[in-house]
Amino acid sequence: MLRRPAASFVTLGLLVALSTAATAQGRPSFWLSFGPGYGSANSSCDNCFGGPRLGGTTAALRVGGTLSRQIRLGVGIDGWSHSSGGIRETLETIAAFGYYYPRGIGGGLFVAAGLGYSHYQADTDPEATGGGVGCTVSVGDDVRVGRHVALTPSLTYSYGDVGKIDAGYNGTQATGWTQNFVSAGVAVTLFSGRGAH
């Protein structure tokens, strides 16, 4: 999970842009949030049924900058993973996010929404993969434990319209593939500059 090289380049590029914009407005405000969690996932396709939701481990990594007293922007990766019968399935969403703090950033409570890319992978032989449009919604609370550090419990829902799943020489395995996962976790959030207030 969270190991796609493309995601690293996208994250780095957008982070530089966000940090530059924030600094230009007099708000040097880099932030970074990362942490594990647990959640359930489901998928469906044209020739299959959703079945029961499966439990699995989750992880999230998000970075960005502060735009205003109530708005933060960032990019991030949210993932879910489950192993059964020697096969690991991984669902990921890589997205650009907007965070809204109703009571101001110092108030802690926030809602966040992101739009980007959703990915599916199963460690079969050959590997089964697919990708399409994805979106993520989160609610959480930055609980300050220091001037530059917060613990951030959150609840996240991620949805992906992947479309087609291919497995190398075995060809197309599924069409009309959609996937979703719900995750509850606690992240460590680090702040710098005036964004630490």
Count of structural domains, the chain: 1
Q: Which of 162, 197, 195, 190 is nearest to 61 (CA)?
A: 190
The model carries a pTM of 0.84
Q: Which of 63, 133, 47 is nearest to 93 (CA)?
A: 133
Give the CATH number, domain containing residue 78: 2.40.160.20
Q: How confident is the model at residue 14 (pLDDT cuts 50, 70, 90)?
A: low
Q: pLDDT tens, 147-160?
A: 889 999 999 999 99
* Residue 82 lies in domain: 5-196
Q: pLDDT tens, 172-190?
A: 888 999 999 999 999 999 9
Percent of the chain with pLDDT over 90: 64
Alpha helices in the chain (DSSP H): 5-24
